Amino acid sequence: MNQNNLIPESIKMKVAERLAVMAPHLQEWLRTPLIEPRPVRISADPNGNSMKDLWLVTDHVGEEDASCRIVYDEGNQEFGLETTLDSGVGWYMCSYGSFSDTVESM
């Protein structure tokens, strides 16, 4: 298994660890949007001028979607939030630290 294949497994372990101690209503709420982590390029600024490689952890499913998606920054070892602006730019707003800190910030 190459290094790139280890990253999704590491992310899933971090998510599972924090998810297990979250309140039951949050666990249920996250069950549907959680996805197999996949690499994405998202803008680090709201104008779309500076791109950042991240890992998408949650995604929109078309029902009761949050306005943000959870992403993982492998370089900083932190979770954060992405939102799609009216301009269509997917913007990496900031890091919040752990998975549970990120969920609580939503």
**pLDDT above 90 for 17:** yes
**pLDDT above 80 for 24:** yes
Q: If pLDDT is split at 50, 70 and 90, which confidence band does 2 have?
A: very low
User: What's residue 1's pLDDT?
Assistant: 35
User: What's residue 4's pLDDT?
Assistant: 64
This prediction has a pTM of 0.89
For the stretch 40-80, pLDDT in tens is: 999 999 999 999 999 999 988 777 767 899 999 999 999 99
Residue 63 exposed, middle or buried by CB count within 10 Å (0-12, 13-18, 19+): exposed
Nearest to 57 by CA among 74, 45, 43: 74
**Residue 42: how many other CB atoms lie within 10 Å:** 21
